Chains A and B, each alone.
Chain A
Amino acid sequence: GESVGLHLPTLSVQEGDNSIINCAYSNSASDYFIWYKQESGKGPQFIIDIRSNMDKRQGQRVTVLLNKTVKHLSLQIAATQPGDSAVYFCAENRRYGGSQGNLIFGKGTKLSVKP
């Protein structure tokens, strides 16, 4: 089954509202999580990351929350703008088996921002 996945395939928000995108993971051995933004025809673009020894990390207009108890990750975007419209992926890095850094991606949530 899916190790890293997203609860909602699409999310539509009004410009200026806050957006919350969720992600679940199943491997408690994962210790590094990343959120990526992917615009049409482009590669994944790093947004923010968090290590498992943290439960919250803030960037510019974005916050990532990690709840290890329920294996849940979320991305919060403050004051969502039309330029935030994209597909958002969470990804995890698994440490078992001597992983050299390959990322396991979730399926993605499409964020649409209405003006």
Chain B
Amino acid sequence: EPEVTQTPSHQVTQMGQEVILRCVPISNHLYFYWYRQILGQKVEFLVSFYNNEISEKSEIFDDQFSVERPDGSNFTLKIRSTKLEDSAMYFCASSLRAEGYGYTFGSGTRLTVV
């Protein structure tokens, strides 16, 4: 069964450092998403991406965040200057269609900012 792959599974970084979280969506999917989940809390939407541009973003997705699909295969989330409160699980997801149908989530990257 096709799956969304995320690397690394765990990333530890110092406050103020830049991090890049990587995702390989399902190959024929067209819509890509990043979500985050702070420990013990609900999953929160960050950003959606379609046709090489951001479709929608939440209040969490401020100027410190950016996304990119550099090569038609990978989908990355960059945090320019990490803060302690960025510590969370970050999930990538992809779907074939818009409107939330047929989402597949990756297993996530646990980001720890120290």
Q: Identify the A interface with B (CB < 8 A).
A: 32, 34, 36, 41-46, 49, 89, 91, 93, 95, 99-108
Q: Identify the B interface with A (CB < 8 A).
A: 4, 31, 33, 35, 41-45, 48, 50, 55-56, 58, 91, 93, 95, 97-101, 103-108
Min Cβ gap A18→B in Å is 25
Residues of A within 8 A of B100 (CB): 32, 34, 91, 93, 99, 101-103
Give the residue of A32, A36, A104 whose beta carbon is less than 8 angstroms from that of B101: A32
Q: List 17 A-B contacts (CB under 8 A).
A: A32-B99, A41-B107, A43-B108, A91-B43, A99-B99, A100-B48, A100-B98, A100-B99, A101-B48, A101-B103, A102-B56, A102-B58, A103-B35, A103-B45, A103-B100, A104-B45, A107-B42
Min Cβ gap B81→A in Å is 25
Residues A43 and B42 in contact in the complex (CB < 8 Å), given A95-B99, A100-B48, A101-B33: no
- Of B44, B104, B105, B106, chain A has the most CB atoms within 10 Å of the CB of B105
Residues of A within 8 A of B108 (CB): 41-43
Give the residue of B55, B101, B105 whose beta carbon is less than 8 angstroms from that of A43: B105
Residues of B within 8 A of A102 (CB): 33, 45, 48, 56, 58, 100
Min Cβ gap B52→A in Å is 14
Residues of A within 8 A of B58 (CB): 102
Min Cβ gap A104→B in Å is 7
Min Cβ gap A35→B in Å is 12
Q: In the bound complex, do residue A100 and residue B42 qualify as a contact, i.e. CB atoms below 8 Å apart?
A: no
Residue of chain B at shortest CB distance from A103: B100
Residues of A within 8 A of B95 (CB): 101
Residues of A within 8 A of B98 (CB): 100-101
Min Cβ gap B43→A in Å is 4
Residues of B within 8 A of A100 (CB): 31, 48, 50, 55-56, 98-99
Q: When chains A and B are docked, how far (Å) is the Cα of A101 from the Cα of B102?
A: 10
Residues of A within 8 A of B103 (CB): 34, 46, 101, 103
Residues A43 and B31 in contact in the complex (CB < 8 Å), given A102-B45, A102-B100, A107-B41: no
